[in-house]
């Protein structure tokens, strides 16, 4: 190995893949150690190669990477877990793509964010194991991503008078703040019932180990998912393509 070439090992999730030429692939990895990394995988389209399996979208793998003057090449790769389920419905796949997009948008190049990675991996796990109602997983992922990536809403109490609870409270998308019925003024605020408010608070404030362990009726989860989606979109002013696609195919 020459001096201009170094080698390092990371673990990460393939959040984007692109074919290059006849047999190569350019993958975007969300790694535990180094955040977002783009790397070439030579020969990765050869389906017999271990590298092919390890560089598939939605696969969590261990990678040995060569850094040659700032260009990363995957030297070796071993798959550890795949969140791509054969025969899974298109709605689930679209949601998985959206979680990858969240990782792409909020992850930072060569800067680790273990909390976000853990969140994305757990959401993919719960989604593919069909353990929770998908809109619930979507809401958890959106709002917790926002909270850990600099867009933490203030859900403690009414911003105007400090009231903790009301039969209906209002959540302002623009301010990321809560208002009671009397203090409500912003036109962009959405009404939230006690059930939905407790879910919003749980997603933002709970310890990670308890994050997925709560339940609300499906109709409330659908409403909650609409709110968290609007919140992350308004706050970041980002046009999430995978979210658009997901919404376009939803029944
Ligand atoms: Zn108030």
Distance CA 198, CA 160 (A): 19
Which of these three, 37, 61, 82, is where a domain ends?
A: 82
DSSP reduced 3-state for 91: helix
Which of these three, 26, 59, 82, is where a domain ends?
A: 82
Same structural domain for residues 127 and 206?
yes
Distance 63 CA to ligand 1 centre (A): 52
Distance 162 CA to ligand 1 centre (A): 6
Same structural domain for residues 32 and 77?
yes
Same structural domain for residues 118 and 179?
yes
Q: How open is the CA angle 89-94-98, to the nearest 5 degrees?
A: 150
- b or e along 132-147 (b: 16 or more beta carbons within 10 Å of the residue's beta carbon)? bbbbbbbbbbbbbbbb
Contact between 90 and 249 (Cβ < 8 Å): yes
Domain coverage including residue 94: 90-249
pLDDT tens-digit series, residues 177-210: 999 999 987 677 999 999 999 999 999 999 999 9
Q: Which of 2-6, 34-38, 221-225 has the lowest mean pLDDT?
A: 2-6
Which of these three, 82, 113, 133, is where a domain ends?
A: 82
pLDDT of 220 > 60? The answer is yes
Query: Which CATH number fits the domain that encloses residue 30?
Result: 2.40.50.140
Query: Which CATH number fits the domain that encloses residue 124?
Result: 1.20.1440.120
Same structural domain for residues 203 and 168?
yes
Distance CA 79, CA 59 (A): 7
Distance 186 CA to ligand 1 centre (A): 13
* Pairing verdict, β 59-68 and 168-172: unpaired
**N-to-C CA span, the chain:** 55
Q: In this predicted structure, what is the pLDDT of residue 251?
A: 66
Q: In this predicted structure, what is the pLDDT of residue 133?
A: 93
Same structural domain for residues 201 and 219?
yes
Same structural domain for residues 67 and 144?
no
Q: Which of 49-53, 171-175, 204-208 has the lowest mean pLDDT?
A: 49-53
Total domains in the fold of the chain: 2
Task: Please report which confidence band the pLDDT of residue 3 belongs to, taking 50, 70 and 90 as the band edges.
Answer: low
Q: In this predicted structure, what is the pLDDT of residue 130?
A: 81
pLDDT tens-digit series, residues 63-108: 999 999 889 999 999 999 999 876 668 889 999 999 999 999 999 9
Residues with CB under 5 Å of ion ligand 1 are 158, 160-161, 163, 180, 183
Same structural domain for residues 119 and 94?
yes
Task: Please report which confidence band the pLDDT of residue 15 belongs to, taking 50, 70 and 90 as the band edges.
Answer: very high
Distance 50 CA to ligand 1 centre (A): 59
Same structural domain for residues 113 and 168?
yes
Same structural domain for residues 170 and 65?
no
Distance CA 127, CA 53 (A): 21
pLDDT of 113 > 60? The answer is yes
Tokens of 158: 């009414």
**Burial group, residue 3, by CB count within 10 angstroms (0-12, 13-18, 19+):** exposed
Distance 155 CA to ligand 1 centre (A): 12
Distance CA 75, CA 62 (A): 11
Same structural domain for residues 55 and 97?
no
Average pLDDT (228-241) is: 97
83 φ/ψ angles, rounded to the nearest 5 degrees? -105, 10
pLDDT tens-digit series, residues 119-139: 999 999 999 988 789 999 999
Q: In this predicted structure, what is the pLDDT of residue 99?
A: 98
Residue with the bigger pLDDT between 86 and 232: it is 232
User: Which of these, 105, 91, 192, 87, lies nearest to 134 by C-alpha position?
Assistant: 91
Q: What percent of the chain has pLDDT over 90?
A: 81
Bridge partners (DSSP) of residue 64 are 9, 76
Distance 95 CA to ligand 1 centre (A): 36
Q: What percent of the chain has pLDDT over 70?
A: 96
Q: In this predicted structure, what is the pLDDT of residue 2?
A: 52
Same structural domain for residues 114 and 177?
yes
User: Which of these, 165, 150, 154, 175, lies nearest to 197 by C-alpha position?
Assistant: 165
Distance 195 CA to ligand 1 centre (A): 19
Distance 212 CA to ligand 1 centre (A): 30
Same structural domain for residues 47 and 127?
no
């Amino acid at each position: 190995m020459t001096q201009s070439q170094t080698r390092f090992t990371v673990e990460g999730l393939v959040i984007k893949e692109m074919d290059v030429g006849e047999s190569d692939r350019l993958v975007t990895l969300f790694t535990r150690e180094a955040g977002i990394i783009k790397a070439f995988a030579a020969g990765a389209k050869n389906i017999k190669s271990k590298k092919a399996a390890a560089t598939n979208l939605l696969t969590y793998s261990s990678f040995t990477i060569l850094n040659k003057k700032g260009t990363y090449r995957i030297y070796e790769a071993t798959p550890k877990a795949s969140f791509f389920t054969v025969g899974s419905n298109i709605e689930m796949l679209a949601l998985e793509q959206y979680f990858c997009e969240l990782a792409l948008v909020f992850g930072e190049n060569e800067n680790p964010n273990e909390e976000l990675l853990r969140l994305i991996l757990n959401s993919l796990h719960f989604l593919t194991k069909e353990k929770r109602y998908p809109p619930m997983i979507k809401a958890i992922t959106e709002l917790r991503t926002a909270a850990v990536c600099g867009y933490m809403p203030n859900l403690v109490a009414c911003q105007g008078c400090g009231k903790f609870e009301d039969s209906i409270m209002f959540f302002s998308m623009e301010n990321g703040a809560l208002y009671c019925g009397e203090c409500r003024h912003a036109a962009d605020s959405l009404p939230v019932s006690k059930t939905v408010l407790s879910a919003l608070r749980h997603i933002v404030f709970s310890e990670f180990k308890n994050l997925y362990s709560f339940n609300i009726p499906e109709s409330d989860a659908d409403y909650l998912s609409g709110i968290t989606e609007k919140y992350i979109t308004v706050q970041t002013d980002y046009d999430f393509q995978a979210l658009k696609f997901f919404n376009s195919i939803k029944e």
